[in-house]
Amino acid sequence: QVQLVQSGAEVKKPGASVKVSCKASGYTFTNYAMHWVRQAPGQRLEWMGWINAGNGNTKYSQNFQGRVTITRDTSASTAYMELSSLRSEDTAVYYCASAVSMFEQLVIGYWGQGTLVTVSS
Amino acid sequence: EIVLTQSPGTLSLSPGERATLSCRASQSVSSSYLAWYQHKPGQAPRLLIYGASSRATGIPDRFSGSGSGTDFTLTISRLEPEDFAVYYCQQYGSSPLTFGGGTKVEIK
């Protein structure tokens, strides 16, 4: 079965960067897109971007103004999301989530357990 | 970007009752690329419906989706105790992908 296991909670100071990892198992990693979604306290889910795990192509939400970078390591079946220039509003639970199938790469089917990132001075 | 507005914000119902959740888009969602998720506290969201009306693998048939264009509906025919949760709609027809604000289905 598809499993996505994320790295642990992080506490960062404003202006710093954070890198969250997501290790996939139970499927062929390079076949499915990996998305990143976050949820700030009391807010709706917010899509950040996705990576084609096969060729490494990425697409990001313009709402992050170039602060987000998604990468992957195919040998480790792991995707990464790095967010820079952190501010307090970036305090949120960050989820990695894979596509539901090879034919529906934009449908988010499987989710990691979430990683809490707290930005505080 | 496409803004999704869900209504009502909260739905108070009893087990066995029918739940009807609405999702309205600020512009037409291309090819009915609309999904619904169930989210419980402390858990990851769970995909219920995609393509507006296709049930995801393992989802009971009491969950159904309908709609097109700008108006979409998730119906839970008879609420089970495990169905009380927050439900989000999401469009994936144009970038950025966007989510609605959620409807909380609570026990009356």
pLDDT (tens, 9 = 90+) of chain B, 108 residues, equals 999 999 999 999 999 999 999 999 999 998 889 999 999 988 889 999 999 999 999 999 999 999 999 999 999 999 999 999 999 999 999 989 999 999 999 999
Q: Cα separation of A105 and B27, whole Å?
A: 22
Q: Helix H segments across A27-106?
A: none
pLDDT in tens, A39-52: 999 999 999 999 99
What backbone phi and psi angles, to 5 degrees, belong to A29? -55, -40
Neighbours of A29 (CB within 10 A): 21
B34 close to B90: Cβ distance less than 8 angstroms: yes
Q: Do A47 and B97 touch (CB under 8 A)?
A: yes
Chain A residues in contact with B96 by the CB 8 A cut-off are: 47, 61-63
| pLDDT tops 90 at residue A103 | no
What backbone phi and psi angles, to 5 degrees, belong to A90? -85, -5
Q: Do A100 and B47 touch (CB under 8 A)?
A: yes
Q: How far is B94 from chain A (nearest CA, A)?
A: 10
How much is the pLDDT for B105?
Answer: 97
Q: Do B101 and A44 touch (CB under 8 A)?
A: yes
Residues A54-70 have a mean pLDDT of: 94
Q: Give the residue, B27 or A101, on which the prediction is more confident.
A: B27
> Pick from A61, A107, A109: which is nearest to B96 by CB?
A61
Neighbours of A15 (CB within 10 A): 11
Residues A58-63 have a mean pLDDT of: 94
| pLDDT tops 90 at residue A65 | no
Neighbours of A5 (CB within 10 A): 13
What SS3 class is residue B92? Answer: coil
Q: Give the residue, A101 or A33, on which the prediction is more confident.
A: A33
Residues A75-100 have a mean pLDDT of: 97
pLDDT in tens, B1-19: 999 999 999 999 999 999 9
How much is the pLDDT for B66?
Answer: 96
B92 close to A107: Cβ distance less than 8 angstroms: yes
A97 close to A22: Cβ distance less than 8 angstroms: no
How much is the pLDDT for B46?
Answer: 95
Residues of B with CB under 8 A from a CB of A: 1, 33, 35, 37, 44-47, 50-51, 56, 88, 90, 92, 95-102
> Pick from B44, B92, B99: which is nearest to A106 by CB?
B92
Residue A64 has what DSSP assignment? G
**What is the residue type of A13?**
K
The pLDDT > 90 percentage for chain A reads 91
Q: Give the side-chain half-sphere CA count within 13 A for B88.
A: 22
Q: How far is A66 from chain B (nearest CA, A)?
A: 14
How much is the pLDDT for A81?
Answer: 98
A43 close to A109: Cβ distance less than 8 angstroms: no
- Preceding amide of A41 cis, omega within 30: no
Q: Cα separation of B69 and A21, whole Å?
A: 36
Q: Cα separation of A114 and A22, whole Å?
A: 9
